[in-house]
Structure 1
Amino acid sequence: MMSFSAARIKGVLSLNQGRSGTLLMTVAVLACMLLSACAVAPGMRMQKPPSIAAQNASASDENASVEAAVPMTDINLALINKLRLDAAKVSDVQTQTLFDSSPAPYRLGPGDVLQITVWDHPELVTALGGQTAANNRPSDPAQGFVIDSNGDVQFPYVGRIHLANIRLDEAQDSLIEHLSKVFVKPQVTVRIASFRSKQVYVDGEVHTPGPQPINDIPMTLLEAISRAGGFTAAADQSRMILVRRGVSYTLDLPKMMDRRENVAKILLRDGDLLRVVSRDDNGSFVMGEVNKPVTAVPMKSGRLTLSDALSQAGSLNTNSADAAQLYVIRGSQNGGVPEVYHLDARSPVAMILANQFELQPKDIVYADGNGLVRFSRVLSLLMPAINAGLTAAIVTK
């Protein structure tokens, strides 16, 4: 009887010890999970590219090779000056071919309407047709002689005469020469009643987009914008696109004016397409530890600096952002090798650099989080598992 009781007590004690061991083991495992998880905190995090030795050692690792291929550069005055110089060179090469200081005179073409007057011969006035201008629609040609698709005009006593691709004075001399065979020293006056053979197209952020006819006054860039009603509030004047014969040119109007370049010397030609894009299409993405992740849009001048983008995002989150880890990712949308620029913004003086560093369309501005925030996020993810494990251990006790 005594031996049975002792054996039972011993069994109960061993069972309690096993349950206590299970509880301690559970707590130990959860503690190890917590400590190890701190090294792999959730969320995005920027890292410096590995050293050359690390790159050689991990050449077989695909992720390491991709990370090593992305260069990371610190933002400083030397970098800002270099980027400005490179951008100016590209702009000069593109726009210098568009400047034309000697515009060519207007040449007649199919669709132009001519008003031809032969003085002292009123019988030729009836060739112009009846006076129906009051009933004409805006798309109807003006009263006169229309140059057909072959470039010819049918005129009394002359017949069919080719007047396309010649100047107005040359057309007048040609008519005088032909009429001299019928009349003695004819006095002829030729003027253009309607310009319809040449036009440019203005599209995008202007008040009245559409075709703009080219007349005897050379069509400059500013003249085309003025005829289209001027820019809208959403227009990006720094990245206008001019398409000419399949070649696209990017025009930065504010910078050209800042460099004292005469924009009036940029002449548009027949068939040119001028597109004024919206500032919303050229925004930069601000994300990470900012108060309001947003797509920052350029100013009316088309300029967007890093400080402008941060201002539109409500600045860095002082509770969670690591000001020393501010990055700009560029070139990720066109399939090339992206570039990463790093700025240590812990000092307010660094914002001078941010105010001079100009962003490009589709740049990504990323503010990294600090270590305390990452640790807090680890705890928030692991606490439900820890509580569940402790509860299960207590219940089994």
Structure 2
Amino acid sequence: MPITSESVMLANQSAYRPLALPGVFSQTAGSAGTLRGAGALPEPAFQAENRPAALETRIPPPADPGPYKIGVGDVVLLATPQAGTTIEELSGLLAAQNRRQGYTVQDDGAIAIPDVGRIHIADMTLEEAEAELFQRLVENQIDPSFSLEIAEFNSKKVSIGGAVASPTVAPIALTPLYLDAALAAAGGVTVTDQDYASVRLYRQGTLYQIPLSELYARSGLQRIQLVDGDSIFVDTEYRLEQAQAYFEEQIRIAEFRQKARTDALTELSAEVTLRRAALEEARSNYQTQLDLDAVARDYVYLTGEVGNQSRFPLPFDRQATLADALYNEGGGIPTQTGNVREIYVLRGSADPREFASVTAWQLDGRNAANFLLATRFELRPNDVVFVAEQPITRWNRVIQQLTPSLLSTSVAATR
């Protein structure tokens, strides 16, 4: 079938999808890299110190801690009846006496009582602890006559500092601890100028503030109930050293962010380098497999009067044409021996049972314009490109093969 514009369109209609290169050849080293941030910064330890025209009042919400619960470090006092002799008990000579023993709540929340063992009473009210102790005494067949009280309150505390006579830590007992009582426990407030003084209460990450003048003017503010972990600080005036500490903190935060960004860029650069090395290694391994012919490829075979009889691998990810095969691997057509009139593309049937069914597409290169068709004729796997020899070339080769035989025959005859 001659190769014409119409036959090229017909030949190109056969379905074929070129093999694709592995994904490593389309990936880039920075495609998955992300810049790591500095993370969440801690809350500032210092607030900006500006002398205010009027101090802001921030009152904490009402607190209701509920009944006192025994905690680690508290000392409980266990009182049990002291046994006497039978004669003393009958005669009434022995007055009612109790044996009193103190027990400290250990770090595991338990107290150790002889003949009973460890009893966990932490986070219990006094009534709940009595019920637990009663149950354990009954289980151990011990007279459950006893009384329980808290002798020392050490688990729940409030710290008071700043402009007070004696900074201290005040314990919270069975009765509520209020703000005025806590300030009194620290010896009272030692402030001469109340205009810029305030009582600051730090509770569970929130800072509350009550101007000192307003605290004395409103009695209800003095009855703010305190809870475990509260910190009270009495500020007396604008302090230059605290303002300096605030700005130093801001400078350190800025330096930290800059260092975090530098570290993140360094980390990202190292990650990109590693990824690039991995991609280059994968590509190099694949190229080595290609060089060793260990990768399945689609080939077109060049034979006849071509510059280099060989097999032409169809490229990845694109179609190859007859011109690509002839002038790439084939080395072109020798003008002295090749017959440009008879350039063939032999294509067999896709069905192996139709082995004898072959289509021969012929390109007549005597008209140079027909070579444009070679740039549009798409090749398929296992196509055979054949270029016939010129008639004179065929005769020259016959003569070249006969001449040595004739010479040998004549030499033999003369001998």
| Bigger radius of gyration among the two | 2
Higher fraction of helix:
1
State TM-score, norm by structure 2.
0.38
TM-score by length of 1: 0.40
